[in-house]
């Protein structure tokens, strides 16, 4: 297997943190960050610029760096996806298909993120089981449910080693998310620190599954390191950490600083209402040892500390 590790969407919310973890694990000389317009100029490592629709470019990168593993993160998220469903399908599905085809050709191991968005209003909302109904009602969710099946197909048909999790809303301070429904759980920290107030675009009693980014990165790498024989799920693993309402998050911040929150639900409320509130991730816990470290209180502590420092610079 090639030593190179390619990360697509490398400068997005997950990519910015996954790339540095992978650099530490594999060495900077083996990790290639593929971005398009939003490349971080302070980034220290190998960068390639290109669109995920450029299959030839992707293939030349694989050859140039002897890529043996791809973390394919490029994705248009749920709220933005509703503004341009066609683009969302093209980016999310065509990009994935290119990556899977090249992975078969070059015998590459693949990580691809699914999401709680693969679920829909007919899915049990509490303790959502690993194997359940996937009838998403957003285009983003449609690409996640379809992507899961496509990955499974490549695994069964071509023996491709492709691994995947259903991420909940991810909370981080380094790079801001963009175009997602769970973005309020990050934006509220910026509002708190910069203005002492925040207008939340979902109702106060909206409960969604969330996770602090460090847990997500650790879990992702842990899944990729797990022995193939221990992995029985052929689509994507449910992955959970904490579930809280928008109001519970606000109150946890208010225990530490002054914050005024108003709730003005917009079109994203409907998306949030179509997703589960709590996920049962016991299969991931038993098959490859997943466990989270950050509860709500610890996550709020670290978010406030890190963001304060970042915004003061
Ligand atoms: C979104 O809100 O679209 C994403 C997700 C849950 O996949 N954060």
Q: Is residue 288 part of a domain?
A: no
Centroid of ligand 1 to alpha carbon of 138 (angstroms) = 11
CB of 274 closer than 6 angstroms to any ligand 1 atom: no
Express each pLDDT in 65-88 by its tens digit.
999 999 999 999 999 999 999 999
Q: Is residue 286 part of a domain?
A: no
Do 126 and 38 reside in the same domain of the chain?
yes
Q: Is residue 284 part of a domain?
A: no
Tokens 């590790």, residue located? 5
Q: Is residue 41 part of a domain?
A: yes
The residue from 65, 71, 140, 263 that is catalytic is: 140
Distance, in Å, from the CA atom of 114 to the CA atom of 144, rounded to the nearest integer, reads 5
Q: Is residue 285 part of a domain?
A: no
Express each pLDDT in 86-101 by its tens digit.
999 999 999 999 999 9
Contacts of 143 (CB under 8 A, 6+ apart): 75, 81, 88, 89, 92, 93
> Is the Cβ–Cβ distance between 210 and 182 less than 8 Å?
yes
Q: Which residue's C-alpha comes closest to atom 4 of ligand 1?
A: 180
CB of 169 closer than 6 angstroms to any ligand 1 atom: yes
Q: Tell me the CATH number at 15.
A: 3.40.50.720
Do 45 and 116 reside in the same domain of the chain?
yes
Distance, in Å, from the CA atom of 157 to the CA atom of 160, rounded to the nearest integer, reads 8
Q: Is 126 exposed, middle or buried (0-12, 13-18, 19+ CB in 10 A)?
A: exposed
Express each pLDDT in 223-256 by its tens digit.
999 999 999 999 999 999 999 999 999 999 999 9
Q: Tell me the CATH number at 200.
A: 3.90.25
Do 11 and 85 reside in the same domain of the chain?
yes
CA dihedral sign of residues 203, 125, 145, 286: positive
Express each pLDDT in 16-44 by its tens digit.
999 999 999 999 999 999 998 767 778 89
Centroid of ligand 1 to alpha carbon of 210 (angstroms) = 10
Kind of pairing between the strands at 242-245 and 207-212 = antiparallel
Q: Is residue 21 part of a domain?
A: yes
Q: What is the pLDDT of residue 177?
A: 87
Tell me, yes or no, if 263 is annotated catalytic.
Answer: no
Q: What is the pLDDT of residue 36?
A: 85
Do 232 and 203 reside in the same domain of the chain?
no
Q: Counting atoms of ligand 1 from 1, which one is nearest the CA of 144?
A: 7
Do 68 and 131 reside in the same domain of the chain?
yes
Q: What integer is the mean pLDDT of 92-119? A: 98
Do 143 and 179 reside in the same domain of the chain?
no
> Is the Cβ–Cβ distance between 170 and 178 less than 8 Å?
no
Centroid of ligand 1 to alpha carbon of 100 (angstroms) = 23
Residue whose C-alpha is closest to residue 246's, from 196, 186, 194, 302: 186
Q: Is residue 15 part of a domain?
A: yes
CB of 78 closer than 6 angstroms to any ligand 1 atom: yes
Do 220 and 112 reside in the same domain of the chain?
yes
Residue 182, classed as helix, strand or coil, is coil
Do 161 and 55 reside in the same domain of the chain?
yes
Tokens 């990955």, residue located? 151
Do 88 and 155 reside in the same domain of the chain?
yes
Q: Is residue 142 part of a domain?
A: yes
Domain count, the chain: 2
Q: Which residue's C-alpha comes closest to atom 1 of ligand 1?
A: 180
Do 42 and 131 reside in the same domain of the chain?
yes
Written in H, E and C, the secondary structure of 26-71 is HCHHHEEEEECCCCCCCCCCEEEECCCCCHHHHHHHHHHCCEEEEE
> Is the Cβ–Cβ distance between 45 and 25 less than 8 Å?
no
Do 87 and 230 reside in the same domain of the chain?
yes
Do 16 and 104 reside in the same domain of the chain?
yes
Give this prediction's pTM: 0.97
Q: Counting atoms of ligand 1 from 1, which one is nearest the CA of 182?
A: 2
> Is the Cβ–Cβ distance between 68 and 122 less than 8 Å?
no
Q: CA 17 from chain center: how many Å?
A: 11
Helices (H), the chain: 15-26, 55-64, 78-83, 85-89, 95-106, 139-158, 184-195, 213-225, 246-254, 268-273, 282-288, 296-312
> Is the Cβ–Cβ distance between 110 and 2 less than 8 Å?
no
- Its domain, for residue 272, covers 170-210+242-279+294-311
Q: What is the pLDDT of residue 135?
A: 98
Q: Counting atoms of ligand 1 from 1, which one is nearest the CA of 116?
A: 6
């Amino acid at each position: 297997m090639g030593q190179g590790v390619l990360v697509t969407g490398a400068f997005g919310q997950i990519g910015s943190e996954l790339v540095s973890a992978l650099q530490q694990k594999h060495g900077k000389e083996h990790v290639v960050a593929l971005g398009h317009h939003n490349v971080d100029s302070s980034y220290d490592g190998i960068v390639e610029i290109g669109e995920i629709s450029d299959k030839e470019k992707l293939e030349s990168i694989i050859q140039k760096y002897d890529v043996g593993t791809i973390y394919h993160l490029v994705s248009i998220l749920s709220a933005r996806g509703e503004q341009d469903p066609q683009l969302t399908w093209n980016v999310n599905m065509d990009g994935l298909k290119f990556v899977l085809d090249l992975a078969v050709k070059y015998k590459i191991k693949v990580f691809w993120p699914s999401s709680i968005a693969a679920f829909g209003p007919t899915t049990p909302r509490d303790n959502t089981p690993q194997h359940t109904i996937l009838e998403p009602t957003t285009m983003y969710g449609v690409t996640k449910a379809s992507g899961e099946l496509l990955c499974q197909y490549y695994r069964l048909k071509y023996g491709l080693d492709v691994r995947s999790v259903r991420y909940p809303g991810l909370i981080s301070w380094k790079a801001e998310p963009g175009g997602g429904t769970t973005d309020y759980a990050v934006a509220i920290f910026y509002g708190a620190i910069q203005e002492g107030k925040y207008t939340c675009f979902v109702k106060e009693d909206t409960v969604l599954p969330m996770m602090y980014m460090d847990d997500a990165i650790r879990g992702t790498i842990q899944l990729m390191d797990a022995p193939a024989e221990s992995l029985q799920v052929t689509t994507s693993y449910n992955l959970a950490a904490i579930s809280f309402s928008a109001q519970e998050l606000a109150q946890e911040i208010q225990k530490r600083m002054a914050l005024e929150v108003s709730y003005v639900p917009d079109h994203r409320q409907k998306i949030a209402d179509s997703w589960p509130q709590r996920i049962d991730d016991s299969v991931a816990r038993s098959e490859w040892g997943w466990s989270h470290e950050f509860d709500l209180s610890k996550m709020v502590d670290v978010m406030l500390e890190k963001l304060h420092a970042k915004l003061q610079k």
